A and B are shown apart, each in its own frame.
Chain A
Amino acid sequence: MKKIIKYIFLLLITAIFLFPVVFMIACSFMSSSQISEMLDFANGEYKNLNMIPEMFSLEQFYQVFFRRPEYLLKFWNSVIVTFPTVIGQVVVSSLAAFAFAKLKFPFRDKLFFAYIVLLILPLQVTLVPNYIILDNMDLLNNFLAIILPGTFSAFGICLLRQSIKYIPDSSIEAARIDGASYFKIFTRIILPQIKSGLVTLTLLCFIDNWNVVEQPLIYFDNSTMYPLSIMMSEIGNSDYGIIFACGVMFMIPALIIYFYGHRDIDLSFSDSEK
């Protein structure tokens, strides 16, 4: 009996977590008139969370794909901005995290502490000075203006340091004794073991850069270079009709990475290799 209550409670919690996503996907099949009627709050009566579309229609998806070609163009802008950043961040962070976790050198913890503080800095602080720096490096109006700051964010380092820490020192000492260089240790021992940590970092870093809004607005002049996320926020307050369809399409790449690595993400921070 106790087991059933536990399962019901579990289902309830999962429902709370999944409800907005399911609601969003359900709404993306509604007709845009039903959406705008649902989102206008001035008519006084209370909204109920019905997810059943009155008239199942792919009208929203049709609108998004065929009536607004700039959606697709901006999709590729997002891809150009996000993929190099994620690859760069994974590479740079794994190297640095290995050093922070396993190698001894002076000021290690102080430097890591500084990294964390810089990581938590609000964006507006670094926006204007970065504008000056990028201007001098003549990178304004160029996708690198977002890729480089994204690649060198300290988020990955602090994430991977945690998962590298769980690798027992003994295996490294053993390799060290039979003369392997640190680089060989890094590539032979460390990388395979933190594969799941890398997947988690890829997912989280991808989501961060996929939703980037402030930087492109400042660093890019012409709006043809804007990524998809800016268009999403514009759609948010202009035409409600296609907001959900755009949301679903916007989410699919992130979902792909998520489904690819969701089993790994569970193990990313534990040392027991299941």
Chain B
Amino acid sequence: MKQDKFKRIVIKFGIVFFIVMLFLTYFSKTIDNLLLPKVKISDVMTGSLSEYPDTMHTHYLLPLSSVISSEEVYVINTLENGDITVSSVSVNICGSDDLYYEVTSDFLFSDMQVVYMTSKEISDGDRVYIEEGE
């Protein structure tokens, strides 16, 4: 009668709840990373395209696709709780060829990594998921 039907529903709901929790425990990290924008990164290389580089400030070579809106680049930084976020750094371009831009910037350092390809629109301070491999 009505009472038993209700009890059976509750038991089913209980079992489903525990299975969902098990599933979530197992997959929570992967789901979290799936939801994040996937980015590809490359290390910042110092160097210059022209033969006689001006030694006043260091020149960096960045992949063409990494420079967005003509003077902004996204750089990776990892917070202490392990989250990986991007922050925008302003650069001024002083030359380019078909592969690289030659830029100078006082916020850029050679041990940084720059984002050159992203699956979704990213803005300053967003969390991202770094995809390995070229």
Contacts and interface: CB of A to CB of B under 8 A. Distances in A.
Q: Do chains A and B touch in the complex (CB under 8 A)?
A: yes
B79 interface: no
A66 B17 contact: no
A119 interface: no
A65 B14 contact: no
B25 A252 contact: no
Interface residues of B, number: 16
* Chain B binding surface, main DSSP class: helix
Interface string B17-44: 1000100110011011001000000000
B109 interface: no
Interface in A200-257: 252-253, 256
- Measured as residues with beta carbon below 8 angstroms from the partner, the interface class of chain A is 10 to 19
A250 to B, nearest CB: 12
B70 interface: no
Nearest to A67: B32
B29 A69 contact: yes
B11 interface: yes
B122 to A, nearest CB: 18
Nearest to B3: A263
A82 to B, nearest CB: 13
Contacts of B120: none
A256 B3 CA distance: 15
A72 B11 CA distance: 21
Contacts of A263: 3
A75 interface: yes
A260 B35 CA distance: 36
B17 A253 contact: yes
Contacts of B6: 259
Interface centre among A66, A260, A263 (most CB of B within 10 A): A66
A273 to B, nearest CB: 13
Given A253-B17, A260-B14, A76 B25 contact: yes
7 contacts: A66-B32, A69-B25, A69-B29, A72-B28, A76-B25, A256-B10, A260-B10
Given A69-B29, A72-B24, A259-B10, 11 more contacts: A65-B24, A66-B31, A66-B32, A72-B21, A72-B25, A75-B21, A76-B25, A252-B17, A253-B17, A256-B10, A260-B11
Interface of A: 65-67, 69, 72-73, 75-76, 252-253, 256, 259-260, 263
Interface of B: 3, 6-7, 10-11, 13-14, 17, 21, 24-25, 28-29, 31-32, 35
